Amino acid sequence: MTTAIFVIVFLLTFVVPRLSGVFKDLGSDLPMTTQILLLTTGFITKRWFVLVAGIAGAVILYRAWTRTEAGAITKTGCC
């Protein structure tokens, strides 16, 4: 799973940005999925710190939640 994540990050940060220049040179309208891919790539390469902060925040919130009574019950799968 880790390898797959690294491959996806590599593709989104190195390969797709180089291809986006080719798409711009074509000058034609791109399909919606391609536009979404290019927007996602732009977000990851230009605002990566927001993504990292979001992941760190999610981990911190999850750990805090599992320390509560409701979170501990859900985590262990107990009644």
The domain limits of the chain are 1-46, 47-79
Give the CA distances from residue 43 to residues 40, 49, 66, 67, 69, in Å, rounded to whole numbers and listed in that order: 5, 10, 31, 33, 37
What distance in Å separates the CA atoms of residue 69 and residue 15, rounded to the nearest whole number?
46
> pTM for the whole thing?
0.61
What confidence tens digit (pLDDT) does each residue in 20-64 have? 888 777 777 888 998 898 888 888 889 989 999 999 999 999 999
Structure-token pair, residue 10: 């590599």
What confidence tens digit (pLDDT) does each residue in 4-22 have? 999 998 998 888 888 888 8
